[in-house]
């Protein structure tokens, strides 16, 4: 049985005070209401990593993640944050290759492979994102593109390293649009990704890899999406910014 994970991607939202309130409300609701053993991750802006981590204390179910890190380990890279820095703060997860990073910051497969390596070298688990834009889906070449993104970012890893990676399939046309993939579309692509992993690493390894779905996951659709056999939880943007909504999403896992 793969661990279910529900990760909230707060993106560039909330003041520190709002962030503290959101984290504390979700923590309380999860403790009071959520059964099961789904793991929850708050992927927060860099300045909030330590305050939120400290607020959580040693909460067994909820941890924090960063939304990006540099491909460099240290040096003259003004404004960047490195994997060793995150490690030194006790941060276990880092999102890499989110479509907004690919689209607005020009991150490509080669760069992301470096970021994956530096994260793993310093003991962080990457949440590696892939997913096709609308025109690629419409041209019916989405499976080929997503397979290529997974190859470029991850296929240089050995099996032990790959097992530390969480994959998030996020169709770009579903991110922040309110237009979610159907459960069938999500399941189909997750199965394609898992089969592709199996072709390189063998079925036994592929079966251990956690693959999250992201793109307009909300309280109403989470349960159906998360009950697909190859969907192991979600990476959630908008709905992670409201404590009640996010708690309902977590209940779906
Ligand atoms: P959304 O964002 O849930 O707001 O669509 C998901 C994401 O970008 O990770």
pLDDT at 220: 96
Beta-bridged to residue 5, according to DSSP, are 39, 233
Say which of 100, 107, 132, 170 is annotated catalytic: 170
Q: Bigger pLDDT: 35 or 131?
A: 131
The pLDDT assigned to 153 comes to: 98
Give the predicted TM-score (pTM) of the model: 0.97
Q: What is the pLDDT of residue 39?
A: 98
Question: What percent of the chain lies above the pLDDT cut of 90?
Answer: 96
Average pLDDT over residues 110-123: 98
CB 67 within 8 A of CB 11: yes
Cβ contacts of 128 within 8 Å, gap of 6 or more = 96, 97, 112, 116, 150, 153, 154, 165, 166, 167, 168
Q: Give the distance (Å) from ligand 1 centre to CA of residue 246.
A: 12
User: Is 90 exceeded by the pLDDT of residue 179?
Assistant: no
Q: Quick one: which of 123, 145, 140, 252 has its CA closest to 196?
A: 145
Domain boundaries, position 220: 5-251
Mean pLDDT, to the nearest integer, of 122-149? 97
User: Which residues touch 121 (CB under 8 Å, ≥6 apart)?
Assistant: 83
Task: Count structural domains, the chain.
Answer: 1
Share of the chain above pLDDT 70, in %: 100
| pLDDT for residue 83 | 98
What is the CATH number for 98?
Answer: 3.20.20.70
Q: Is the CB of 238 under 6 A from ligand 1?
A: yes
Ligand 1 proximity of 237 Cβ (cutoff 6 Å): yes
Q: Which atom of ligand 1 is nearest to the CA of 239?
A: 3
**125 CA → ligand 1 middle, Å:** 20
pLDDT per residue as tens digits for the range 73-91: 999 999 999 999 999 999 9
The finding on whether 9 has its CB within 6 A of some atom of ligand 1 is yes
- pLDDT for the residue numbered 134: 94
| Distance between Cα 132 and ligand 1 center (Å) | 14
Q: What is the mean pLDDT of the chain?
A: 97
Q: Ligand 1 in contact with 8 (CB < 6 A)?
A: no
Residue 36, pLDDT above cutoff 90: no
Residue 143 pLDDT: 98
Distance 129 CA to ligand 1 centre (A): 11
Instruction: Give the CA angle between residues 58, 64, 65 to the nearest 5°.
Output: 150
């Amino acid at each position: 049985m793969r661990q279910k994970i529900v990760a909230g991607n707060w993106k560039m939202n909330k003041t520190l005070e709002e962030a503290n309130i959101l984290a504390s409300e979700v923590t309380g609701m999860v403790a009071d209401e959520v059964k099961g053993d789904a793991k929850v991750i708050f992927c927060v802006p860099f300045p909030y990593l330590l305050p939120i981590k400290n607020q959580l204390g040693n909460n067994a179910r909820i941890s924090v993640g960063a939304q990006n890190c540099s491909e460099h380990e240290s040096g003259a890279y003004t404004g960047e944050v490195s994997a060793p820095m995150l490690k030194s703060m006790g941060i276990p997860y880092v999102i890499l290759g989110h479509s907004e990073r690919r689209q607005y910051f020009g991150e490509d497969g080669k760069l992301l492979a470096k970021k994956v390596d530096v994260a793993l070298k310093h003991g962080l688990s990457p949440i590696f994102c892939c997913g096709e834009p609308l025109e690629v889906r419409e041209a019916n070449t989405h499976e080929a593109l997503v397979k290529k993104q997974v190859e470029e970012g991850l296929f240089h890893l050995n099996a032990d390293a790959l097992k530390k990676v969480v994959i998030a399939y996020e169709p770009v046309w579903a991110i922040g649009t309110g237009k979610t993939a159907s459960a069938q579309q999500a399941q189909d692509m997750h199965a394609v990704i898992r089969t592709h992993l199996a072709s390189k690493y063998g079925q036994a390894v592929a079966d251990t890899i956690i693959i999250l779905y992201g793109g307009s996951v909300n309280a109403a659709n989470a349960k159906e999406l998360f009950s697909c056999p190859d969907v192991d939880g979600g990476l959630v943007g908008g709905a992670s910014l409201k404590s009640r909504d996010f708690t309902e999403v977590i209940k779906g896992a």
